[in-house]
Amino acid sequence: MIQKSLFLAVGLMAALSQTAAMAQDRYRERPPVVVSPDLAAPWVMQLTGPQARAIATSRQPAQPRVVYRQRRGIFDSGSAAQPVAMRPAPIRSQLEPQWLPQIVRYETREKPGTIVIDTNNRFLYLVMENGQARRYGVGVGKPGFEWAGEHKITRKAEWPEWNPPSEMISREAAKGHYLPAKMEGGPENPLGARAMYLGSTLYRIHGTNAPWTIGSAVSSGCIRLRNQDVTDLYTRVNVGTRVIVQ
């Protein structure tokens, strides 16, 4: 009985050895890799081994590594063999709380209904009764374009058209930015949803198509608010309203 078991065990081992030898002989040369015509597909680029790399790159010329530089960051397109589409970071649309409209204590001798603009702190105050004011965050003139003075609102306009002054057109052209001679009112217009013109000057209190600039010194002297804020202010003041810029 023992001899019979030993005989069967030896026979089984021999059979397994022969099967392994046949398998090694069968797969001694790896079969060719067949890939999709879309050699840029991510799964193709995960293949390993020199043969796969040769197939993946033989029909697809190497692409240069591209780095997109945006105002708010640097975005890499990925490796040359697998370009990746990158979306630019979203532009900041929400403001810090201090720039949002709110009722504040405001001691002043100015009469209710007067607008006082504090350019240093980037606030516009609409004076109210009982030592209070409605305060809005604003964008003001950039360095070299600051100004102070007193005017009255001489005109109001909804969705105003924009006619850049010739000085601004020339100034921006020198930087490689070419402005239109005229731009109709609308969401893309830099004057935004509303405008209140100050005296006979070119200065205005207006909306903006760049709300993330509120709280900054970025304009050519105008006072800008978010569109929803300038619309609110627009309904609270009339032509003839006194405006103090300080």
Residues 132-177: tens digit of each pLDDT: 999 999 999 999 999 999 999 999 999 999 888 788 888 888 888 8
Strands 204-206 and 223-224: parallel
The answer on 168 and 66 residing in a single domain is no
Domain containing 204 equals: 97-238
For residue 136, being part of any structural domain is answered with yes
Distance CA 125, CA 78 (A): 49
Residue 32 has pLDDT above 80, yes or no: no
Lowest-pLDDT choice from 36-40, 195-199, 205-209, 230-234 = 36-40
Strands 67-70 and 223-224: unpaired
Instruction: Output the pTM of the full model.
Output: 0.61
Lowest-pLDDT choice from 73-82, 140-149, 179-188 = 73-82
- The candidate with the shortest Cα–Cα distance to 53, out of 13, 80, 75, is 80
Residue 235 has pLDDT above 80, yes or no: yes
For residue 246, being part of any structural domain is answered with no
Which positions are catalytic?
206, 222
Distance CA 81, CA 11 (A): 53
3-state percent helix, strand, coil for the chain, nearest multiple of 5: 25, 25, 50
**Bigger pLDDT: 15 or 155?**
155
Terminal alpha carbon distance of the chain: 113
Distance CA 60, CA 150 (A): 67
Distance CA 56, CA 100 (A): 55
Residue 79, pLDDT score: 36
The answer on 74 and 134 residing in a single domain is no
Percent of the chain with pLDDT over 90: 52
For residue 29, being part of any structural domain is answered with no
